[in-house]
Amino acid sequence: MDAMPEGDTVWQTAQRLHQALAGSPLTRSDLRVPRLATVDLTGRHVLEVVPRGKHLLTRVEGGLTLHSHLRMDGSWQVYGPGERWRGGPHHQIRAILATAAHTAVGYRLPVLELLRTGDEDRVVGHLGPDLLGPDWDPDEALRRLLTDPSRPLGEALLDQRNLAGIGNVYKSELCFVLRVSPWLPIGEVSSPERLVAHAKKLLEANRNRRARVTTTEPRPDRRLWVYGRPGRPCLRCGTPVRAADQGRAGQERSTFWCPSCQAGPQGPAPS
């Protein structure tokens, strides 16, 4: 998928890793972060690889889990024997897990840690219902979102404690589809259950696609309504799309919206 990692891309990554590694003993284990430099998982079977929101949990026999998170630009790539590795420069590799048939290479992984499988809640227990997970509970997701009615919608959607799997792309696209500003307090969103239902619908629709699409026009330059389109005409009304940082100091994230199509506070004035 040609976009930054969010719940759908992480789900796809988990499927690829599970198909490549699960059920086979590891023939190579190379974890290139200081705290794991001496860890060797060679000989252990990978039991399964599961996504949890934007986290990846690779469970290995012996009660161990390799936890990774892709954040903005990390990735796991899977290669066959003799295939050229092309996920980035060699110095960006943080993990290598190989079986006789496949090699999984983790590039630019900002989070990589080994923990007991029984302790997974330490790293994912705070997450809200997973939009693509077996624990999905729309009522609980809605309850969590509305806990702070004054919080701007964009910030509430990005908070993984409310519902897990939404990143910057879906935040902007969901606000556009609902025709509300990302700065509108979430308590003022009419029929907020529609927001939760549409979030689920969008991620479900994209979890098996190579390219993320939120519009009805899958042309490469028209797959997304507003994300990554600052200054370009809104695909619905033609008004230039705006972009601004949103969030608390030190946690700001880029937000895109159409000031004509989306009602509510319009964020900071253009500089």
Residue 96: which CATH number?
Answer: 3.20.190.10
Indicate whether 224 and 170 sit together in one domain: yes
- The kind and range of the H/E element at 66 are strand 64-69
Any domain includes 147: yes
Q: Into how many domains does the chain fold?
A: 2
Residue 270 is assigned to a structural domain of this protein: no
Element spanning 76, H or E: strand 75-79
Confidence of residue 126 (pLDDT cuts 50, 70, 90): very high
Structure tokens at 252: 């700001």
Domain end marker among 68, 101, 125: 125
Q: Could you list the active site residues?
A: 5-6, 54, 253
CATH code of residue 151: 1.10.8.50
Whether residue 51 is found in the same domain as residue 81: yes
Final residue belonging to a domain, choices 83, 104, 125:
125
Q: For 166-184, how does the pLDDT look when each residue is reduced to its tens digit (9 = 90+)?
A: 999 999 999 999 999 999 9
Q: Which domain holds residue 32?
A: 7-125
pLDDT digits (tens, 9 = 90+) for 33-64: 999 999 999 999 999 999 999 999 999 999 99
User: What is the pTM (predicted TM-score) of this model?
Assistant: 0.92
Residue 27 tokens, joined: 């023939």
